[in-house]
Structure 1
Amino acid sequence: MTSFSKLFLPLFFACLITSLSPLRAQEHRYTFEKGLMGSPFKLVFYTSNDSIARIAADRAFKRVEELNEIMSDYRDGSEINRLSATSGSGKWVPVSKDLFDILAVSQDISAKTGGVFDATLGPVVQMWRHATRKGIFPPEEEIRDALARTGYSKLKMDKKTRSIMLTQKGMRLDIGGLGKGYAAEEAIKELKKLGITSAMMDAGGKIVLTNPPPGAKGWNINVSNGSDSLKAMQLSNVALATSGPTYRYMEYKGVRYSHIVDPKTGIGLLFHVRTTVISPDGTIADALATAFSVAGIEKSKKYLKRFKGSKVWLVEKQGDRIAEWNMLE
């Protein structure tokens, strides 16, 4: 073999490998769905083969299940319920990083929105769930008692020891207002560890998006105002959360009450129709969808200034008419 041939063949095979590598790396769309946290969790992403796709989905859903064990107020042995059981004991309780982090976000949002979002609302939420199941409006005395055991200022945090103290007996934490957004963010992190950069996690209407699908400008997302208006958007590297009483509500004596409870009155919202929030982070988007639903249009305009990069579409009843504040146009 000539020296030229010895040189040419390696170069030929190198060029062949280079030309074939994009074919081997071609990404395919994968969709997985699983019921978690009381809602369907839908995961869509792009990767090169079935094996990686299955591993990625398993890790993402496993992470959500781990968080549910920590944050679910429906599970007696969950970490958050064990913490609630220490309320009024005067003890600082060390907690997991996940629980501490999500409560820190909650407390920050509570402070920035004047308490319209509140993780200590558990007693009221429990009361309202029971009332909704029975279809019986809770008596005023029960509402007052539940409200007396709430207040985000009664939750103390020690960053150095990663500990929590609940200062009043009978407190109960509920982070349903931001738990799914947090779980969606954490699931996406599992995909990123495997090099998956184009993904969408829809956690029951709390959506986290990364890079667009291959060849697309963004993920196609449709948002409704709860009645007759629908907006189609192409989004990427943001999070979106929608909240409304379309399916979860109580009707009592001809009046419809939302499943979202006002921390000041202790009863379900009367005026809320639909709230959609787009934020850089899924946890924030989820929490703000609840906070702005409670605050209403005028107060939310003031609160929104404290959350950079967030946009909102808020629809509410004002007397006999529907009012909208739409920043998504």
Structure 2
Amino acid sequence: MLREFKRPQKLMGNAFEITVVSNDENSANQHIDAAIEEIRRIEKLLTTFSDESQTHLINRNAGIHPVKVDWEIFNLIERSLIISRITDGYFDISYGGIDKRFWNFDREMKELPNLELIKDHLKLVNYQNIILDRNSQTVFLKEKGMRIGFGGIGKGYAAEMAKQMLQKRGVNSGIVNASGDLATWGNQANGKPWTVGIADPENAKRPFSYMNITDMAVATSGNYEKFVVINGKKYSHTINPKTGMPVLGLKSVTIFCSNAEIADAMATPVSIMGINAALNMINQINHLECIIIDDQNKIYSSQNINLK
């Protein structure tokens, strides 16, 4: 008889949970082990905290010389740059040098960072200064002090890769939940589609709506979990790479598409670029949908969304 086997695991600094539908506990556990190993492998590849990682090497040689990398990293950076172009630079992996330096959302922040300093550092944020060379398989950051980071796409990439690996291993149904970014395929053990609840920003524990999803990825960017209040104003942890300032006015953005990496990457720019521009962009891209909730709890959704 089919059952759902779940395992929570801290990975990439986030709470992951892997669900596998199977009729055999032993093989389910082996599949989950393999998925966890795959996510750990990706974490090592992408982390900026380890001197061993290629990402760290790229950053250390910014403005000095190109760095030869594995194709996996090369291709991920190349896809990131495509998303930067599509989103007019509102998604930008060269944002690595700013967020932690100026904004710390552990609620201990009492005042705004120095805006002049932020402006100064913004000169280093420009995806067009990430130079890829296919022939030599290298990545070069043009400006000294530039940094890349995969915070906006890494979790989704890991979820997508873990899902694909489980599918290759013959797992017909499951979910990789990367701290709220989901990659789903197949159906629940009872044969019904997976359902996802869209969190109510006023009450994160209680969804305001459900959607049936299968073979679908969902990513949510919300400021109801991570924010600081300074002088009575709420600043969310989503930072606009063009201004270095947090986004105001939105409570959450949820993206739906078939690929978890793309869903993860699109959640941030959609939160930043303004509701009309975001809906306009999403409506022009096939198989990409979104739901946006603003600070007044008004709900906006792209053309093909059917909320239950």
* Same structural fold, with TM-score higher than 0.5 when normalized by the shorter chain: yes
In the other structure, the counterpart of 2:287 is: 309
Does 1:118 find its partner at 2:92? Answer: yes
Amino acid in the other structure paired with 1:118: D
Give the 5 Å matches for 1:214-229.
Answer: 214-227=189-202
Does 1:99 find its partner at 2:99? Answer: no
In the other structure, the counterpart of 1:188 is: 163
Alpha carbons of structure 1 residues 99 and 195: separation in structure 2 relative to 1, 3 Å: same
- The CA distance in 2 between the partners of 1:76 and 1:246, in whole Å, is 34
In the other structure, the counterpart of 2:239 is: 261
Amino acid in the other structure paired with 2:140: M
Kindly indicate whether the alpha-carbon contact (under 8 Å) linking 2:105 and 2:237 is maintained by their aligned counterparts in 1: no
Alpha carbons of structure 1 residues 273 and 147: separation in structure 2 relative to 1, 3 Å: same
- The CA distance in 2 between the partners of 1:264 and 1:50, in whole Å, is 49
C-alpha RMSD over aligned residues = 1.8
Alpha carbons of structure 1 residues 135 and 69: separation in structure 2 relative to 1, 3 Å: farther
Amino acid in the other structure paired with 2:102: W
In the other structure, the counterpart of 1:245 is: 223
Kindly indicate whether the alpha-carbon contact (under 8 Å) linking 1:127 and 1:146 is maintained by their aligned counterparts in 2: no
1:57 to 25, 32, 57: 32
Kindly indicate whether the alpha-carbon contact (under 8 Å) linking 2:105 and 2:227 is maintained by their aligned counterparts in 1: no
In the other structure, the counterpart of 2:173 is: 198
- The CA distance in 1 between the partners of 2:129 and 2:162, in whole Å, is 31
Alpha carbons of structure 1 residues 58 and 308: separation in structure 2 relative to 1, 3 Å: same
Amino acid in the other structure paired with 2:243: T
Kindly indicate whether the alpha-carbon contact (under 8 Å) linking 1:181 and 1:284 is maintained by their aligned counterparts in 2: yes
Sequence identity of aligned pairs in percent? Answer: 25
Amino acid in the other structure paired with 1:55: Q
In the other structure, the counterpart of 1:211 is: 186
Give the 5 Å matches for 1:133-148.
Answer: 134-148=109-123
Deviations 1:246-284 (A, max 9, x none): 121122111111111001211111222100000110000
**Structure 1, unaligned stretches of length 5 or more?**
1-25
TM-score (normalizing by structure 1): 0.86
Structure with the higher helix share, 1 or 2 = 1
Q: Give the CA deviation at 1:131.
A: 7.3
**Structure 2, unaligned stretches of length 5 or more?**
none
Moved more, 262-271 or 219-228: 219-228
Kindly indicate whether the alpha-carbon contact (under 8 Å) linking 1:120 and 1:172 is maintained by their aligned counterparts in 2: yes
- The CA distance in 2 between the partners of 1:134 and 1:247, in whole Å, is 15
SS in 1 for 2:10: strand
Deviations 1:138-157 (A, max 9, x none): 11221012201111101111
- The CA distance in 2 between the partners of 1:295 and 1:36, in whole Å, is 30
SS in 1 for 2:267: helix
2:141 to 160, 166, 181: 166
- The CA distance in 2 between the partners of 1:85 and 1:300, in whole Å, is 34
SS in 1 for 2:266: helix
Amino acid in the other structure paired with 2:238: I
In the other structure, the counterpart of 1:87 is: 62
- The CA distance in 2 between the partners of 1:48 and 1:261, in whole Å, is 44
Amino acid in the other structure paired with 1:104: E
1:283 to 245, 261, 268: 261
Amino acid in the other structure paired with 1:285: A
Q: Give the CA deviation at 1:306.
A: 4.5
Alpha carbons of structure 1 residues 187 and 252: separation in structure 2 relative to 1, 3 Å: same
